A and B are shown apart, each in its own frame.
Chain A
């Protein structure tokens, strides 16, 4: 079965500095050669630390940021370079849920109008049909009909995220990019929203690109997980496989650094030295070489490729045979 979404050699570089002619001497290499696929009905987790490019990658897929290079194949059509009017029919199919619902919802629009807008823009049904659809959406995400005429500030954080989800689902998308959808929420509300996202996925057959820095949520929700570091995927594997036998030294350090909510467990964490290098000038060769405990000279000499170590388990490290 061909994948629903296939990303090939995706790069997204943002110019920085620049002289008065707009010539930029440098660029932030936010996404620097990403290949990944998402299959129908699948939830792919994308994890990594801030600045690793996971959000940019998500925004590229929705075409909110323009990719610099590479292909984004959605059901076989490359949408990476489509112009706005050609892109329109794909906009319905790929939607996004943002991290902070307060800043992504228009404070001057009622919930009803907010949900109506995509239907109107894409000319779906008459007024009555739109009204019915709005009601349907409210039911779907667990809001009440009286919420229709209220404004975002009248809701709690969890309810606002429900509105954000309803808006993303208005046009019946096939793929939803979830960019840190529960990071701004309290623990007790987080679990409500995660349950909702899982229910919707089963009910509507959605595929998710689930971007998060919270590794335990990704472990719970996703079928496969990709770990990003400085613009590249360093490891990708089925969830259980990744969490049970992590191969890449960065994945290992990342997972070991998560504090376990169990005081009886003495965690053996691997403390990485220093911080993530600047994506303007990433280290040559392997991007992780400056912080890797297993680094050798060869690591900065060549850019490692993703290789398949076990079925479906890919890792980007030249010393993988020696260190695992």
Chain B
């Protein structure tokens, strides 16, 4: 079992029975610190900022959720961290991505980054079929990941790969080692991806919509697996999803992104219990399950309009053209991401980018 020692800063990473929110308020050691990250995509019609001034910490043993709609920059944030931006159009313009014991990933030369990727940080994607190589067995691909980063022989790599397949709950791992991706179901393929991602015991794992392509019963299996592995290995997870249900189940803290910027950051219970940014409020209200109390077949709450295109953003606040609470100041200047001045004792753990909550 790859039981990398739990962080030794005196804080329990998580106990199997602790409620999700219990250690959310606890201040853990920061494993990954992103500061002022701005990522540009040079597309037709000039460069657009897909990620603008994004800052956050990922703490030891936590799951940090990033939620937002398509085009909000959540995947680009992950690709910036991984150094996997589309070439040659994608580029980190400013900002730093400090990974514990490694340094600033934004400044790392590609050769160094290759060594970090898959070892200290790893990533799983939405569609495991497109991220696994169809012409090699899954065992070969896991061994490749191990041998790239560890000076081990074939036998040892194979043993480790089988161990990983077993760990992620694949039955008959010895046999499945020789399977090709197409011989596995979607859920099994995602398990293989997770086995590969965790084979070198990374500090952090980035999961970009890891269960979006899966059925709900399989999604439940994979989410439980991710939670179990996080407990057992102490790996921190950056979970990117559009599904607020998945966020509620998995994350301890949440970033809400809209049109390239973080609009709200909060512990998960505060976010769902008392959302501050009008966009977060609108998102939560427009889910059908949020309308359960008003009864079936009632009209759902909607957010009017559509997400603005990144090369035609409204002046001031990026949400101003859709916001029900918009006022003059919103259209003049973009609000900062700052601690809210009206959230009482939860305010210290929260940030919001809205003039309504940051009057000064």
Interface residues of A (CB under 8 A from B): 49-50, 156, 158, 186-192, 194-195, 198-199, 213-217, 219-221, 239-240, 253-254, 257-264, 266-267, 269, 271-272, 274-276
Contact = CB atoms under 8 A, between A and B. Distances in A.
A215 B216 contact: yes
A260 B246 CA distance: 8
Contact of B185 (A186, A263, A267, A275): A275
Contacts, number: 125
B300 A191 contact: yes
A252 to B, nearest CB: 11
Contacts of A274: 171
B248 A253 contact: no
B287 A261 contact: yes
B284 A275 contact: no
Contact of A192 (B246, B272, B302): B302
A216 B292 CA distance: 9
Given A240-B296, A263-B21, 5 more contacts: A49-B218, A187-B244, A216-B289, A259-B223, A261-B244
A276 B245 CA distance: 23
26 contacts: A49-B217, A158-B306, A187-B242, A187-B244, A188-B286, A189-B69, A190-B286, A191-B286, A191-B300, A191-B303, A198-B297, A198-B299, A216-B287, A216-B289, A219-B288, A220-B288, A220-B296, A220-B297, A254-B216, A257-B217, A257-B220, A258-B245, A259-B220, A259-B243, A264-B273, A275-B187
A265 to B, nearest CB: 8
A283 B308 CA distance: 50
A44 to B, nearest CB: 14
A154 to B, nearest CB: 12
B151 interface: no
B78 interface: no
B4 interface: no
Contact of B215 (A49, A188, A239, A259): A49
Contact of B284 (A190, A260, A261, A276): A261
B324 to A, nearest CB: 12
B248 A263 contact: yes
A275 B215 CA distance: 10
